[in-house]
Structure 1
Amino acid sequence: MDIRQLAPEEISDRPSDRRTVASETVYEGFIWNVQRDEFELAQGTDPLRRDYITHPGAVSVLVLDDDDRVLLINQYRRPVGMTMWEIPAGLLDVDGEDPAAAARRELAEEADLRAEQWDVLVDFHNSPGSSSEANRIFLARGLSEVPDAELHERDGEEAEIHGTWVPLDAAVRAVLEGRLNSPAAVVGLLAVHAARADGYRSLRPADTPWPGHPDLR
């Protein structure tokens, strides 16, 4: 392995300009498709072929109240056959919708809540070796309830959603003890725990550009 000496501020994921030789959709699904790409790692080398899920991306919301508690919601997840404690989240499946607006919508739909203060908490890719999915987690504070007349009617798996408020430190312990496994919840809880150390001053504004999302570069 080539170990390079880099300054900490140089450590950053970046888009790559490697040449695509061929690309086709090999499966069309209900929510996402499977794409097959052939590409060159270096000019003149034999192309590599990879299949991966093309995904619209998602937003998640780490909800923190004035008592340093986080909101976790419980939902059934068919692929892993588990009911999981998660944070509110949803797909970026509305054409032209801003990620921060999508986060506000998901918070209202899944948790019946609104928030006055929004920050970008952390960005991540669920599985960059097999999916294009990018996920942005927002930190939501300054909470209020959605009026009864504006409540969203949940259906499908979302109809079974129920929630609980957990002290942040207890939620982090649940992650480290292996009791919470949802990727957005794990990443979000550890990130907000780290951000709390400097009073959340290191967080980015809610409208910060998102070059990690393939469609938002």
Structure 2
Amino acid sequence: MPGGGTARREVVEHLGAVAVVALDDDGRVTLIHQYRHPLGRRLWELPAGLLDAAGESPLEAARRELAEEVGLAANSWVTLVDVAVSPGFTDEVVRVFLARGLSAVDRDEQGEEEADLEARTFPLDEAVAMALAGDVVNGPAVSGLLAAQAVVAGRAEGRPADAPFRDRPTRFARRSEG
């Protein structure tokens, strides 16, 4: 602990993840609606997924997840935010990207969760209003939507798509490899 003391902690180690604010030329963002067992209901979220492929960069993972979950590709990528989901008990950090210049690609469903999700587009301002009203509660989605609104409005700038990912979790992946 800071100051030299010690404390016992239980920590859930995670692979890390990526999420994508996919913004079309009309200012609409794609959200997915899928069941989340811990909350016992379907949630509106951003297309997202784990950093679980060996050697895959966060940007490559984001490109893969965007195609798998909603059948989109993008030609412009910016890092919006890195979200430490609940740093009191897990090292999970999600990198959220802003993707623009969208085009349709074949959707490559990878499992039951992706087969069950519903994708829908919303004007960015409406999606932000949904977050502020409590209709979007997923942390990376709320953070990503608010950050995207700030970037689109010119009040903030994103970082390069390959910006350093200082807090990317690594312990679980290292142990799993070995």
Same fold (TM over 0.5): yes
**Identity between Structure 1 and Structure 2 (%):** 49
Q: Number of matched residues?
A: 171
Cα distance in 2, alignment partners of residues 57 and 214 from structure 1: 6
CA distance in 2, matches of 1:84, 1:180: 7
Q: Give the number of the structure with larger relative contact order, counting CA–CA contacts within 8 Å between residues 6 or more apart.
A: 2
Once the two structures are TM-superposed, the CA of residue 42 in structure 1 deviates from its matched residue by: 2.1
Give 3-state SS (helix, strand or coil) of 1:117's partner.
Answer: strand
How far residue 154 of structure 1 moved from its aligned partner, in angstroms, is 3.8
Task: Give the structure 2 partner of residue 115 of structure 1.
Answer: 74
Shift of 1:59: 0.3
For 1:209, which of 145, 148, 164 is the aligned residue?
Answer: 164
**Can you give the 5+ residue segments of structure 2 that lack an aligned partner in the other structure?**
172-178
Shift of 1:153: 2.9
Other-structure match for 1:176: 132
Q: Which moved more, 1:102-111 or 1:169-178?
A: 169-178
Higher helix share: 2
Structure number with bigger Rg: 1
2 CA distance for matches of 1:109 and 1:158? Answer: 8
Q: Any residues of structure 2 matched to 1:32-71 within 5 Å, and which?
A: 40-43=1-4, 45=5, 47-71=6-30
CA RMSD, Structure 1 to Structure 2 (Å): 1.6
Structure 2 SS opposite 1:109: helix
5+ residue gaps in structure 1? 1-39
Partner of 1:19 in structure 2?
A: none
After TM superposition, give the deviation of residue 53 of structure 1 in Å. Answer: 0.2
SS at match of 2:10: strand
Higher strand share: 1
For residue 199 of structure 1, report the CA deviation from its aligned partner: 7.2
The answer to whether the Cα contact below 8 Å between 2:69 and 2:109 also exists between their aligned partners in 1 is: no
Tell me what 1:72 maps to.
31
TM score, norm. by length of structure 2: 0.91
